[in-house]
Amino acid sequence: MTKPEISKLGYVSLVSTDLEKSLVFFKEVIGLEETEVMDGVHYLRAWGDFQHHTLSIRQGDRAYVSHIGWRTKQKEDVLAFKELLENEGINVQRIEPWTTPGIGEAIRFTVPSGHTFELYYDVKKPAADEKRASVLKNQTYKAWAKGISPRRIDHVNLHTAEDWKETYSFFQDVLGFKLREYLKEDDSNQILAGWMSVTALVHDVALVSRQKDELPTPARLHHLSYWVDDSQDVLRAADICREHGLNFCGPGKHSISQALYLYVADPGSGCTVEVFSGGYLIFEPDWEPVAWNASERAFGNTYWGDSITKKEIIKHTIEA
């Protein structure tokens, strides 16, 4: 049996304590499009996302990420992953096809970092309704309809208080993520944060180790991220966030990934969204992970701009 593979980040399933506020935030400020509303769950995507949704959001008693969905490379990878995971002693839940609108047969499980992941292959890629559809055949919706108007989902950033060794080897060895850049202790190889991808992006997922007493629960989402095409779009996002009275950090440029950032919190769920642009792509098949020492953390985080080191918003995470 060939090793099953993940092709891409699919979607984040978010629960908000104030759905109304969250919808204003994601639809009007971020500018996502709504594909469908079913059973009180709103399915959203960016104008350049192809899959049915890249974010789902519903009302709940507490704000948290229910699970994070990843698409496999092939249909048979879903069950192959099930077998592989069970061999690793992981408890795997099977989800009936299309239980989640737009998502076919799926499996869900808890990774060693404590987060719930979902794997699936079959998806619906519904066209936009005529009024919102782009005149371009290769683009889902018209761009620039509302708010910041990102092109597509980019990555998730997860925080964990669980064992770093187990976590990183699981992400790499079992799930097949490649380590692209990482932050380590100055005097040891202990990884403090890792940027990992299955794509040419520097990261589809970042994993940050935190002390147990730093986190209310052991597994957290720090942020999910949407991509904009141009640097100036990040500046425009700052204008928009300021005018909406939102709490944000940025614009700034990361050294790690070289990307521009702006972090803004959804006032409904407390979930942080990173508006992201620039950076580099990795096409080299023998990429040597770039190591940053703990003493370089501030520079690694912020090449220039509004530093994320001391901002309150940057310390915030939600349960995941």
CA angle 62–6–118, rounded 5-degree value: 25
Nearer to a second copy, 64 or 195 (CB): 195
Per-residue tokens: 261: 């950032």
Binding a second copy (rule: CB under 8 A), the pick from 38, 127, 281, 298 is 281
71 binds a second copy (CB under 8 A): yes
Is residue 73 within the footprint of a second copy (CB under 8 A)?
yes
Q: Which range binds a second copy by CB under 8 A, 68-76, 78-86, 95-103, 161-169?
A: 68-76
Q: How far is the CB of 211 from a second copy (least distance, A)?
A: 26
Cα–Cα distances in Å, from 243 out to 28, 188, 237, 247?
Answer: 12, 45, 10, 11
Nearer to a second copy by Cβ, of 76 and 86: the residue is 76
Q: CB of 196 within 8 A of CB of 206? A: yes
233-236: long-range contacts, CB 8 A cutoff, minimum separation 24: 233/148, 233/149, 233/150, 233/275, 233/277, 234/260, 234/261, 234/262, 234/275, 234/276, 234/277, 236/148
Token reading at 57 = 């959001």
| Nearer of residues 42 and 151 to a second copy, judged by Cβ | 151
Q: Burial, 288: exposed, middle or buried (Cβ in 10 Å; 0-12, 13-18, 19+)?
A: exposed
Tell the smallest beta-carbon distance from residue 247 to a second copy (Å).
Answer: 11
Residue of the chain from 17, 176, 255, 297 that contacts a second copy (CB under 8 A): 255
- Binding to a second copy by CB under 8 A, coded x per residue (else -) over 46-65, reads --x-xx--------------
Omega into 126 within 30° of 0, i.e. cis? no
Does 283 help bind a second copy (rule: CB under 8 A)?
Answer: yes
In terms of DSSP bridges, do strands 6-16 and 55-59 run parallel, antiparallel, or are they unpaired? parallel
Q: Which of 91, 137, 188, 312 binds a second copy (CB under 8 A)?
A: 137
CB of 258 to a second copy, least distance (A): 6
Angle among Cα 148, 156, 214 to the nearest 5 degrees reads 115
For residue 8, the minimal CB distance to a second copy (Å) is: 4
According to the binding rule CB under 8 A, does residue 152 interact with a second copy?
yes
User: Which residues inside 193-252 make contact with a second copy, applying CB under 8 A?
Assistant: 199-201, 229-232, 235-236, 238-243, 245, 248, 250-252
Output the CA–CA distances (angstroms, integers) from residue 250 to 99, 107, 202, 306, in the order listed. Answer: 38, 37, 20, 5
**How many other CB atoms are found less than 10 A from the CB of residue 18?**
16
138 binding a second copy? (CB under 8 A): yes
Decide: is 8 part of the binding site for a second copy (CB under 8 A): yes
Among 136, 165, 166, 295, indicate the residue that binds a second copy (CB under 8 A): 136
Show contacts of 186-193: CB within 8 Å, 24+ apart.
186/293, 186/294, 186/295, 190/164, 191/164, 192/164, 192/294, 192/297
By CB under 8 A, residue 21 contacts a second copy: no
Q: Provide the minimum distance between the beta carbon of 145 and a second copy in the complex, in angstroms, as a whole number.
A: 9
Q: Are 103 and 308 in contact (CB under 8 A)?
A: no
In the complex, the residues that contact a second copy under the rule CB under 8 A are: 7-8, 48, 50-51, 71-74, 121, 125, 134-139, 142-144, 147, 151-152, 181, 199-201, 229-232, 235-236, 238-243, 245, 248, 250-253, 255-258, 260, 278, 280-281, 283-285, 290-292, 303-307
